[in-house]
Amino acid sequence: MIRYYCSGFNVDNAFGHGLGDMFKTELKDTKSIVYIPGNPEKVEKAKTKYIPKFTKHFKNVGIEFDRVNLITPELTSDEAKKMIKEASFVMLMGGDPFKQKEMCEQLDILEELKKFDGIMMGFSAGAMLMSKYIIIIPCSEEYPNFHIEDGLNFDELSIYPHNNTSENVYPNTLIVGNETYHKEDLIQVAKKYGKFYLLQDNDADISFIKSLNGHIEFYIENNGKIWQVSNEINLISKQIKKL
């Protein structure tokens, strides 16, 4: 089982600097890739924008899949399960992790995802769905409250994406776009639900977590950062592998 928990990517070179080489080494074959959108509203954008971009990024590192499939709400459960069962690579995309989970529940594919033994990558909402807990803290008008649900819990770890700060000490308040994260809110969640990890993605500075048969590895690119949240928020400086 090989799984990648990512926050996001360099839009111009998503799989460069070593990540693509890891995929090539790990892929059993390149018969099929399956994309799962972050929510039903993201299906059209996935078709017209993101899948063509990812196809190009894969090609740039020497990977071309024979078939490219997209899970949509219009599929039957059997059709969706067959796509996952035959896939070489499954990508859980960004969006809303709760709506993504709901769509997967309606298609009855959560158990099929849990049985999948190829390469799986989740970014943003997708990585949150792969986590032990899907964690949202009050950060914007869209997310004004704490909202925490069970995720797929593949590896007994949870991630919270888009913690893009250049500081070496996590700030008390972090503003990213239209969202504001408060350090105490993150710590409050950890005290109740257990430790979890903050990942970063601001074009050049990338971080991700890899699970290889249950063994956890931490990776960064450039000045990427991975933080562990428990009773405090600490930068992980040991066990880090640089791309």
With 0-12 / 13-18 / 19 or more C-beta atoms within 10 angstroms meaning exposed / middle / buried, residue 26 is: middle
Q: How far is CA 211 from the centre of its chain?
A: 12
Question: How many folded domains does the chain comprise?
Answer: 1
What span, in angstroms and rounded, lies between the C-alpha atoms of 220 and 238? Answer: 12
Residue 96's nearest CA partner among 154, 155, 41, 163 is 41
Query: DSSP label at 37?
Result: E
Residue corresponding to tokens 């990890």? 197
What span, in angstroms and rounded, lies between the C-alpha atoms of 15 and 33? Answer: 15
Q: For position 39, what pLDDT does the model report?
A: 92
Residue 23's nearest CA partner among 97, 91, 115 is 91
Q: For position 238, what pLDDT does the model report?
A: 81
Q: For position 24, what pLDDT does the model report?
A: 94
Q: For position 18, what pLDDT does the model report?
A: 87
Amino acid at 148: I
* Contact assessment for residue 151 and residue 130, using Cβ atoms and an 8 Å cutoff: yes
Q: For position 13, what pLDDT does the model report?
A: 84
What span, in angstroms and rounded, lies between the C-alpha atoms of 134 and 176? Answer: 19
**What digits encode the pLDDT tens for the residues 113-135?**
999 999 999 999 999 999 999 99
In terms of pTM, does the model score above 0.75?
yes
CATH code of the domain containing 64: 3.40.50.880
Determine which helix (DSSP H) or strand (DSSP E) holds 2, and give its type and residue range.
strand 2-6
Residue 143's nearest CA partner among 195, 96, 191 is 96
> Which tokens go with 81?
């399960």
pLDDT in tens, the chain (243 residues): 899 999 998 878 888 778 999 999 999 999 999 999 999 999 999 999 999 999 999 999 999 999 999 999 999 999 999 999 999 999 999 999 999 999 999 999 999 999 999 999 999 999 999 999 999 999 999 899 999 999 999 999 999 999 999 888 999 999 988 899 999 999 999 999 999 999 999 878 889 999 998 899 999 988 899 999 999 999 998 888 887
What span, in angstroms and rounded, lies between the C-alpha atoms of 216 and 213? Answer: 8
Question: 116: domain range?
Answer: 2-242
What span, in angstroms and rounded, lies between the C-alpha atoms of 150 and 206? Answer: 26
Residue 136's nearest CA partner among 122, 152, 124 is 124
Residue corresponding to tokens 């190009």? 56
